[in-house]
């Protein structure tokens, strides 16, 4: 049975429905990785995650992220291979017909956009696609924070600090590292259980190490500031750390930023809840 031909009016209506509006069209296709992904799926009909990752030459988290962004245009078969659905095939047809967003729609990077990118350290996290190269940097930040915590005799409580500690230098340093390594394992477990994201573990570890930067800086500031001033400064550093953890989850596990922020806030509330249960909140 031959497929029924679609009238131009119906095709135009369905195409407008697929894209919703011009800005969504631009957002989806302005990224070269997503255009390449649509082209691969359109040409090969269906493809597995591992093969798609190798074809694109990208990290696990990056591929997951773009698949998530294109989720409305994809489907999976019983073998969990990806394919374009009806909306996706229309998107692919647009690309073949030269439907790339016109250059006049490409937004220039404003100062505010650049500021937000640097607040989330997006240019730094983007380098973690090669985690072995950035691992020394992440380890340095973790060791820097552990040394500072012990030097200031300030006990690490993950995102918070106790201004005094009864532990020796080595124990205080170890406790700092233990907290952040525990966060890595916890985050990996939650990403698997809640979002079915597997792989990219080394990149996640590197990203979490980088995300600990604000907390790593605090002990050094604490040594030169009054306790009251340092306490308020810590609140700002905690907020920045939550932002960086969001970037860490987004880049390493491919979570959309809205989901990554929810996970980061959950970590914050869990941290506060544990401290409250232990009677460590003052």
> If pLDDT is split at 50, 70 and 90, which confidence band does 9 have?
very low
Distance CA 68, CA 44 (A): 19
Structure tokens belonging to residue 206: 């590197």
Q: Enumerate the β-bridge partners of residue 76.
A: 82
Highest mean pLDDT among 82-86, 145-149, 154-158: 145-149
Taken in order 32, 38, 44, 48, is the CA torsion positive or negative? positive
Evaluate whether 250 touches 260 at the Cβ level (below 8 Å). Answer: yes
The domain boundary, picked from 83, 107, 131, lies at 107
265 with 236, same domain: the answer is yes
Is position 3 within any domain? no
Tell me what pLDDT residue 6 has: 44
Q: What pLDDT does residue 112 have?
A: 59
Q: Do 15 and 130 sit in the same domain of this protein?
A: no
| Prediction pTM value | 0.74
The pLDDT confidence band at residue 27, using thresholds 50, 70 and 90, is: low
- Distance CA(261)–CA(249), nearest Å, equals 9
Domain of 54, CATH number, reads: 1.10.10.10
Domain closes at, from 107, 126, 147: 107
Tell me, yes or no, whether 68 and 130 share the same domain.
Answer: no
pLDDT value at 227 more than 60: yes
pLDDT computed for residue 26 by the predictor: 60
Q: So what's the pLDDT on residue 211?
A: 97
For residues 8-28, average pLDDT = 48
Q: What is the pLDDT of residue 113?
A: 67
**Which pLDDT band holds residue 194 (cuts at 50, 70, 90)?**
very high
Residue 129 and residue 32 share a domain: no
Rounded to whole angstroms, the Cα distance separating 148 from 121 reads 22
176 domain residue, yes or no: yes
Look up the domain containing 57 and give its range. Answer: 8-107
């Amino acid at each position: 049975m031959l497929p029924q031909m679609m009238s131009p009016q119906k095709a135009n209506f369905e195409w407008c429905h697929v894209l919703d509006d011009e800005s969504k069209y631009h957002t989806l296709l302005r990224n070269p990785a997503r255009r390449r992904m649509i082209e691969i799926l359109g040409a090969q009909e269906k493809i597995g995650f591992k093969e798609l990752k190798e074809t694109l030459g990208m990290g696990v988290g990056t591929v997951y992220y773009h698949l998530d962004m294109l989720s409305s245009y994809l489907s999976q078969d019983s073998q969990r291979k990806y394919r374009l659905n009806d909306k996706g095939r229309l998107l692919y047809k647009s690309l073949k017909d030269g439907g790339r967003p016109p250059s006049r729609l490409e937004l220039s990077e404003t100062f505010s956009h650049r500021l937000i990118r640097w607040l989330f350290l997006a240019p730094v996290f983007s380098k973690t696609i090669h985690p072995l190269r950035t691992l020394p940097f992440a380890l340095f930040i973790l060791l820097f924070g552990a040394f500072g915590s012990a030097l200031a005799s300030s006990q690490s409580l993950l995102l918070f600090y106790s201004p005094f500690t009864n532990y020796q230098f080595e124990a205080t340093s170890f406790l700092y590292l233990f907290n952040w390594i525990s966060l890595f394992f916890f985050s990996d477990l939650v990403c698997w259980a809640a979002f079915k994201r597997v792989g990219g573990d080394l990149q996640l570890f590197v990203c979490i190490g980088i995300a600990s930067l604000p907390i790593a800086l605090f002990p050094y500031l604490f040594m030169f500031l009054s306790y009251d001033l340092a306490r308020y400064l810590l609140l700002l550093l905690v907020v920045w750390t939550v932002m960086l953890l969001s970037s860490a989850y987004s880049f390493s596990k491919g979570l959309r930023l809205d989901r990554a922020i929810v996970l980061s806030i959950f970590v914050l509330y869990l941290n506060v809840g544990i401290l409250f249960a232990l009677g460590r909140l003052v």
